[in-house]
Chain A
Amino acid sequence: MDNENTVKYAIECKGITKTFGSVVANDNIELTVKYGEILALLGENGSGKTTLMNMLSGIYHQDKGTIYIGGEEANINSPVDAMSLGIGMIHQHFKLVEVFSAGDNIILGTEKKKMKPKALKEEIRNISKNLGLEIDPDKKIYNMSVSEKQTVEILKVIYRGAKILILDEPTAVLTPQETEKLFALLRKMKEQGCAIIIITHKLNEVMAISDRVTILRKGKSIDTVNTSETNEKHLTELMVGRPVSLEIERNEVENKEKILKIVDLTVMKGDGTKALDDISFNIKTGEILGVAGVAGSGQKELCETIAGLMPAKQGAILYKKENIIGKSPSEIIKLGISMSFVPEDRLGMGLVASMGMVDNMLLKSYKDKKGFFVDRKPARELAKKLKDKLKVVTPSIDTPVRLMSGGNVQKVLLGREIESNPNLLITAYPVRGLDINSSYTIYDLLNEQKEKGVAVIFIGEDLDVLLELSDRIMVLCHGKITGIVDARKTTKEEIGILMTGGTIGEEEEND
C-alpha cells in the first residue's frame, strides 16, 4: 500500500485463506467495504462466498490472512465477537425461535431482557420506524410470512448495533415485489451509513442494488468492479471465466397428447393444514410445464403426491386416463413416471450419499432382475456412460456421491432419471445452486427430453429461466393454483402478482 488512503474501510480482508481438508475454499482473498456502501459478492456455487462471510461472522476462523474492521485488526473467534464488532449476518435459513414473538427474538441473547417490556417494545418500534418498517413486536414468528421473518432478522442485528450487515442470498425466498421492498430498506440503511454485503447469484439484482461488485471464482477474488461501469454479460464472464451465451432455446413439439390430468386434488400436510388445495391442471407430452411459486407453496407435496409418496385427501391423478392415487411408489415408477426433487441440502432423497455412482444407479432398478443377488454390471456401465456423457467430475464411479460437488451430484440424479426413459419427468429445483454452465447442461437435457415427447414438469425458483424454458407456467400460492399462463406471452411482473395470490385479467382456460 504505497499511497496511504485515508478512507477507513468498514471491512478490509487481506489474504484470507481457509481450507477444509484438501479443499481450498478461500484462497488469498482481498475484499473491502466502505461505510455507506452496498457491495455485492458474486460467484458461482462453491466459489467460497459463504465461507468468507462465515469467517466475518465468527463461525469459522481463517487459516491465513487478516481482517480489519473499521481500520483495526480484528480477531473474530465467535459470533459474539462479530456482534461486538458491529457485524451482523442474516443467514439464508432464518435463525429465529418460531414460538417466540418478534420482540422476544430481537432481544434474545442480549442484556436488554431485563428491561421493562413496555419500554422495550417502544424501542423496537422506534428502530423500525426509523427504517420505515412496520413490525408488531408481539406477533409470533410462526404467524409471519417469509418476508416478515426476514425483517425480524434484520431488526435483530440492527438492534444489536450492527453497522455492517451481511445478507446471504436474501432474495431466494422472496417474490419480486418483496425483493423490491427489501432493496428499498437496504438503500435506506446505506444512507444511514451502514456497510452492506449482499451475497447473490442473480445478476439483475446485483445491477439493481449494489455500488460495487466483488467476484469470486474457485475461492479466489477475481476482480472488483463498480456496478455503474459494468453489465450483466461482463459480470458473467468474470464469474465463469469465459464468455457464455445466456440463451435457452425453446422448440415447439408436434403431436402433443394429454398424458397427465390432475383433478380437484387436495393434499394435507402432517399438521392438518392443506398443502395442496383443490388443484386441477393437465400436461401434454412434448411440453415443459413450469411451476412457479414462493418456496413452500406446495411444490414438494405436488411432486410427492404424484410419485405416490404422499397420500391424497381428495381428487384424482389421471395418468393415461388411469387414476394412480393409491398405487405404491414402485408401481408408479414402473408406469414411467420419474420424480427428482432437489431439496435444500441437495442430496435429498434421490440419492444415497454414502454410495458411489454405481450403487446409486441401482436405486430404482435393483429389483428388475430376478433372483436374490444384485446385478451391478448394467449399473456400472450406466454409471460410466453418464460420467462421460454429462462430464461428471468424480475420482471414480465408486466414490461416495457425498464427496462430489453439488453440480455433479445433480447431474448424476437427473441423468439416472432420464436414462430410465420416463414418459413423465417431474423435476424440482434441478439447477438449485448450480453454476451457470451446469445449469445450461441441465436445461439442454430437459429440452432434449421434451423433443423426445416426454412430458416435463419443471419446478423452478428463477423466474427468468422459467419464462425462457417452459411452454406454460403454473403458479402456486399457498397450495392453490393462482394461474396457468402461456410462458411466451406473460411477464415476470404478472407471475410475481400471481405468486402472492393476486389475479390477472386473462387466464388460460384449464380444462
Chain B
Amino acid sequence: MTNQAVQKSKEPFARIVKKSEMSGKNVAILRIMAFLLAIVAGGVFILCIGENPFAVYGAIISGAFRSVMAFQGTVKIMIPLLITSLGVTLAFKMKFWNIGAEGQIIMGAIFASYFALFHDTLNHTLLIFAMFIAGIIGGGLWGLIPAFFKSKFDTNETLFTLMLNYIALHIVSYLRDGPWMDPGSQGYSKIATFSKNAMLDRVMGVHIGWIIAIILTVFVFIYIKYTKQGYEISVVGESHETARYAGMNVKLITLRTMFLSGAICGIAGMVQATGSDKTLTTAVAGGVGFTAIIVAWLAQLNPVMIFIISFLFSVLEKGSSVLQSSYGLSTDCADVLQGIILFFVLGCELFVRYKFVFRKKGGA
C-alpha cells in the first residue's frame, strides 16, 4: 500500500468508458464491420493451414447455392435451426434460461415417432396432424417440467433444462435398443424407417417444414409484439416484482411460456424426424438446440433477424460440408471458422456500449 503511495501512480494506460447510446444505423455499421473483420481473421486462419482463403470462401458460398439441390440442402439445415431459435426466444424474452431446447426437440421427435411407427395406417393428413400435435405436447411437457420446479421451488432452470437434455437423449437410446428396435434390422439396434405415409409432404423439393417455419416466424413476431401474453412475457422478463405489482400471475405466465417455448422446439423435432431423417435417431437434435441459443442472441431475440441469421448459419454449415470433399479439410475447420465469426460478432457488442480511452502522450 505504502509502495503505491510513494510511486505516485500514473494515469492508467487505457480505461473503458461508457459510450452514449448509438444510433441504430451506427450499430448496424459496427456489426457489419465486425463481420467483415471476422471474414479477414478467418482468411488468415485458412492461409495458415495452407489454402487460398478466397477459394475456400468461394467454395462455401457455391457449396450452399451452386445447384437447386444444394440450396434445398441449405434450407433443410435451416428449418430446425430457425424453428428452435424461435422457441428459445420466447423463453429468453422472459429471462428464463432455457438451455434445454435440445431435449425438447428430442421429446417432440419421440412423441411424433410414436404415431409414425405405430399408427401409420391412419389417413395421411390425419397422421401428419396427429404427429404435429404430438410433437407440440412432447416438447411442451419437456419445457413445462423445469418451469414447474422453477415456479414451485425456485430451482435453477439452467442446470435443470441442461440435465433434461441428457435424459431425453437416453430415452431415445433406450427405445432404440429396446421396445422400438426395428425387428427387421437383424440385431443391429436402430429404429425402423418410417413408412411413406408418415413422412412430411414435399413442396418445391423440400419437406413442408419450411412452410411451418415461416408461419411460426410470423406467429412468434406477432405474439411477442402485439398480444397481451407477449406483453406479459416482457414484463415478467424485466422483473417478477413488477409483474406481480401489475396483477399478473407470474407462475402461470412462466408455465405457459415455457410450454410454448418447448412446444415450438418440439415441432422442430417432429419436422426433423418425419421430414429429414425419416426415422428417430439419437442425432435428431444434433446440437441444433445449442446453436439456436447463439442464433437467438445474435438476432437480439427479434424473429425477423432470427430468420436472416439462421439462414446465414445454414449457408456456412452447408458450404463447409463441401470443403471436406473438395479440399480435404475436416469439418472441424468449418467449426473453427464459425467460432471466429462468432467471436468477432459477439465481441463487437462491447464496442456498442463502451469505448477505450488511452492515456494521452506526455500527460500526467
Contact = CB atoms under 8 A, between A and B. Distances in A.
Interface of A: 20-23, 61, 63, 66, 73, 75, 77, 80-81, 83-85, 111, 307, 309, 328-333, 339, 348-355, 359, 362-364, 366-367, 372-374, 403
Nearest to A62: B11
B29 interface: no
Contact of B4 (A80, A328, A374): A80
Nearest to A340: B245
Given A75-B10, A374-B227, A363 B2 contact: no
A22 B1 CA distance: 36
B246 A75 contact: no
Nearest to B229: A372
B325 to A, nearest CB: 47
B273 to A, nearest CB: 31
Given A75-B8, A75-B10, A75-B364, A362 B15 contact: no
Given A21-B19, A80-B4, A374-B228, 20 more contacts: A61-B15, A63-B357, A75-B11, A75-B364, A77-B11, A77-B12, A80-B1, A84-B5, A85-B5, A111-B1, A309-B244, A352-B242, A354-B238, A359-B234, A363-B235, A364-B247, A366-B228, A372-B227, A372-B229, A373-B227
Interface string B11-30: 11001011111000000000
Nearest to A309: B244
Nearest to A66: B364
Contacts of B248: 330
A125 B18 CA distance: 44
Nearest to B19: A21
B4 A84 contact: yes
A367 B228 contact: yes
A85 B238 CA distance: 42
B239 interface: yes
A352 B235 contact: yes
12 contacts: A21-B18, A21-B19, A63-B17, A66-B364, A77-B9, A84-B4, A328-B249, A352-B234, A352-B239, A366-B228, A367-B247, A374-B227
A63 B226 CA distance: 44
A23 B244 CA distance: 34
A84 B245 contact: no
Residue in A73, A331, A332, A367 whose Cβ sees the most chain B Cβ within 10 Å: A367
Given A20-B18, A75-B364, A84-B5, A329 B227 contact: no
B247 A362 contact: no
Interface in B232-269: 234-235, 238-239, 241-242, 244-249
Contacts of B20: 21-23
Contacts of A77: 9, 11-12
A363 B1 contact: no
B1 A84 contact: yes
B4 A81 contact: yes
A234 B244 CA distance: 45
* Range, interface on chain B: 35 or more
Interface residues of chain A: helix, strand, loop or mixed (majority): loop
A328 B235 CA distance: 18
B249 to A, nearest CB: 8
Nearest to B2: A84
Contacts of A373: 226-228
A367 B227 CA distance: 11
Contact of A330 (B2, B226, B247, B357): B247
A367 B229 CA distance: 10
A455 B270 CA distance: 58
Nearest to A307: B245
Residue in B9, B249, B364 whose Cβ sees the most chain A Cβ within 10 Å: B9
A75 B15 CA distance: 14
A364 B18 contact: no
A363 B231 CA distance: 9
A61 B245 contact: no
A349 B239 contact: yes
Contacts of B230: 374
Given A77-B12, A111-B1, A363-B246, A349 B228 contact: no
A363 B227 contact: no
B1 to A, nearest CB: 6
B237 to A, nearest CB: 9
A21 B364 contact: no
Interface in B54-81: none
Contacts of B231: 359, 362, 366, 374
Contacts of B235: 352, 363
Contacts of A349: 239, 241-242, 244-245
Nearest to A363: B246
A353 B238 contact: yes
Interface string B349-364: 0000000010000001
Contacts of B18: 20-21
A81 B228 contact: no
Contacts of B11: 61, 75, 77
Contacts of A353: 238
B238 A329 contact: no
B250 to A, nearest CB: 11
A304 B83 CA distance: 41
A169 to B, nearest CB: 24
Nearest to A331: B247
> What 5 pairs between A and B have smallest CB-CB spacing?
A330-B247, A21-B20, A22-B20, A84-B5, A349-B241
Given A21-B19, A23-B20, A77-B9, A372 B228 contact: yes
B9 A350 contact: no
A8 to B, nearest CB: 18
A348 B238 CA distance: 11
A362 B249 CA distance: 16
A334 to B, nearest CB: 8
A182 B230 CA distance: 51
Contact of B242 (A63, A350, A374, A403): A350
Contacts of A354: 234, 238
B228 A329 contact: no
Contact of B21 (A21, A84, A348, A355): A21
Contacts of A332: 247
